[in-house]
Structure 1
């Protein structure tokens, strides 16, 4: 596969995930393991290396658009970063099957909760005294996904933000901000000389271009319509990712 094709793949992933609140870890891992047959450690490190610059570019763009909600984002980062460190240190000792089932169940539960929220919305949305605790828990789950498996951890962060009643545009922006913090920590712990530089750099170039365009595209959409159409799609994708891990 040519470098141009790699850049194109990175562009599409960067544009897609930075428009929908993810970091692309699962997609990058799928490409790296499925198409290039990289080993798990190399794929994890290369995935984080590829995703991190695009996350930074995307987060800056969302910040300039004024859509990042720092208060709730910081609450998630406070727990996500320690969880990323712990997950990275424990990853060599955790049986893959146990980790897979735990994360799969969490993702499925989060996706189903979004569906419940869609079909049975609360008439009086107000801040709950448990919101800070919920944000902290979502941060922990995301951090463990980054630390243990080299995933971006975007699914639980985005799901958590949606369940905490952020609209889709602001949830996407805040998710990008949170993922910058977890990804840089995960990248540091997963380096160990495992990055496939030739593949990673080509994907990264495309991903950065896609991430640069994503906030600009979001600034032109109607937040209400975007929330209405994309939120159920995100719920389906989160449930799908959970099921895919165990099937």
Structure 2
């Protein structure tokens, strides 16, 4: 298992950075499906695994000048309290219910990734609606980080695209928010003793190597074509791991 984990981490780290996400959902699925951790332990460990690569990616995004701090700060105002609340109530959720929560999120994210290439969003122009949407998606992202141990990038990117940001701006701004909420979520989960540090470190080493090497390799390929191929594959992967998580319940 400790041979398979860094290999999977390498592959996921490389693929996720090409898609502009935090990757916690994929690390979570590996920790539950391959590492056989409980859903609660995997939730805490996935934040530990994904944070370093997320910080590296966020710094790279910042250097491009695409971060929109105004929209990002609006989302943080909503995301941070919901992250704290989610982390505090997570320990009171029974393991079976916890597994079903993760399963539902996996299915929704997997379906979203499968449909994303065929759906175009119309930007929201009304300023009041724009502000409201940033808060709503910020709350949803924070709950995903706090309760499920996911990076919460999905709702952030979706919300930022809906209010009119470009994909580059949405990915950059999302990474800024995710670094802060992931640090808070990791700290709160760690204080509850749920983190599998050893297994997480093995997976994290592979992920860091993948995220460091992938950009050089991908720079030689057509990024649109790579995303077109990888996105449905990762969507199917999430759905399968979600099914595997609850099939024994």
Interval of TM-score (by shorter of Structure 1 and Structure 2): 0.7 to 0.9
Change (3 A) 1:220 1:76: farther
Gapped runs of 5+ residues in structure 2? none
Cα deviation for residue 10 of structure 1 reads: 1.7
Q: Which residue of 2 aligns with 1:74?
A: 73
Deviations 1:44-75 (A, max 9, x none): 12111101111111101111122222221221
Residues matched between the structures, number: 239
Which deviates more from structure 2 when the two are superposed, residues 43-52 or residues 61-70?
61-70
Give me the whole-angstrom Cα distance separating, in 2, the residues matched to 1:165 and 1:16: 26
RMSD over aligned CA atoms reads 3.7
Q: Secondary structure at the match of 2:91?
A: helix
Q: Which residue of 2 aligns with 1:168?
A: 167
Give me the whole-angstrom Cα distance separating, in 1, the residues matched to 2:58 and 2:149: 20
Confirm or deny that 1:202 pairs with 2:202: yes
Give me the whole-angstrom Cα distance separating, in 1, the residues matched to 2:37 and 2:31: 6
Which deviates more from structure 2 when the two are superposed, residues 40-49 or residues 6-15?
6-15
Q: Which residue of 2 aligns with 1:148?
A: 147
Task: Report the TM-score, using the length of structure 1 for normalisation.
Answer: 0.77
Change (3 A) 1:127 1:109: farther
Change (3 A) 1:105 1:36: closer
Q: Which residue of 2 aligns with 1:55?
A: 54
Q: Which residue of 1 aligns with 2:135?
A: 136
Confirm or deny that 1:27 pairs with 2:19: no
Q: Secondary structure at the match of 1:156?
A: helix
Gapped runs of 5+ residues in structure 1? none
Confirm or deny that 1:37 pairs with 2:36: yes
Deviations 1:213-245 (A, max 9, x none): 5677788888xx84x985898699779968986
Within 5 Å, which residues of 2 pair with 1:81-230?
A: 81-94=80-93, 96=97, 99=101, 118=120, 122=122, 127-129=125-127, 130-191=129-190, 192-212=192-212, 226=224, 230=227
